[in-house]
Structure 1
Amino acid sequence: MSRQTADDGLPSARDGIDERQAQWRAELPDVDTRGMAILGRARWITLAARPPIEAVLKAYDLDSGEADVLFTLLRSGPPYRLRPTELFRSLMISSGGLTDRLNRLAKAGLIRRVEAEGDGRSLPVELTEEGRRRAREAFREDMAVEAAMLRGLTEEEQVQLAALLRKLTLTIPTADRRD
């Protein structure tokens, strides 16, 4: 018995986006719904991925915004220190939002403000030993959860999909693209 395939050559299993496209083809056959096929699925994936990722972060007593700060500081490398403006630009949030996150993280003992050499106007933000430990552990577990979500794709498919998404990201004009 052979499996049926869809127009794209993949097995003919259908999802909710396929159903919506079929409905729109019947209602407005002149409208191209390929954007829905891609962006609708990207949105669904994002929404489905959030709860397990947020559960990982919660296990480390972090929310996603706090984790963003810790991960940004950790990936900056030793001494795991950035100026607030560098964090602000990297995270693409309001300065008030950053201040709130920094205050919560400092209160939890995960970051500290340090004197800037030769610059008294800015107090760089630095991970504490506990902040580095928690960030490393949470990031490792987060990446394991995300890898598990991708098990339905071969390694080659994952590389291809990442390349296509990168290409799409670079072609969609937006003022607040995160690099």
Structure 2
Amino acid sequence: MKTLYLVRHAKSDWGDPMLDDHERPLNDRGLRDAPAMGHRLAERGVAPDRIVTSTAVRARSTARLLARVLGIGDDHVVELDELYAASGRGILNVAADLDDELGVAMLVGHNPGMSDAVGELTGEWVELPTCAVVECRVDVDSWAELVEGTGELLAVDTPKH
């Protein structure tokens, strides 16, 4: 049995129209929401063995803020280009490639891929707002066994809850 957290990055700043999408930072709300969600996770005893994030600035910042609050060192945060603009299937492929020694993993990325990944994994379709965190139990012994329908949606938390 594995636990997978799927996280949509926190709210990003659209203030500079010349900035490439990949380089957009978090806005003030995003900078507040990510640590707040981290504190909620910490209160529930969540401690991912690894956080894997998109290389986009807004996703990396979200992942680092969550990691800091959860007491997870930078050596347990991995950046992957494959998560930037990934489809739901692409996100699940990243999860399927995780090291089997990891029992709890967190992926930080973008919509619509994150919402699609939740639906494909659990059969439950949820439109994730920014900084939403979804907890899924995955009934597999090896991450490589993770396929459509092997997950159970345990919780959805958003900054507005």
TM-score over 0.5 for the alignment? Answer: no
Query: Which has the higher relative contact order, 1 or 2, with Cα contacts under 8 A spaced 6 or more apart?
Result: 2
- Name whichever structure is richer in helix by fraction: 1
Q: Which has the larger radius of gyration?
A: 1
TM-score, normalised via structure 2 length: 0.24
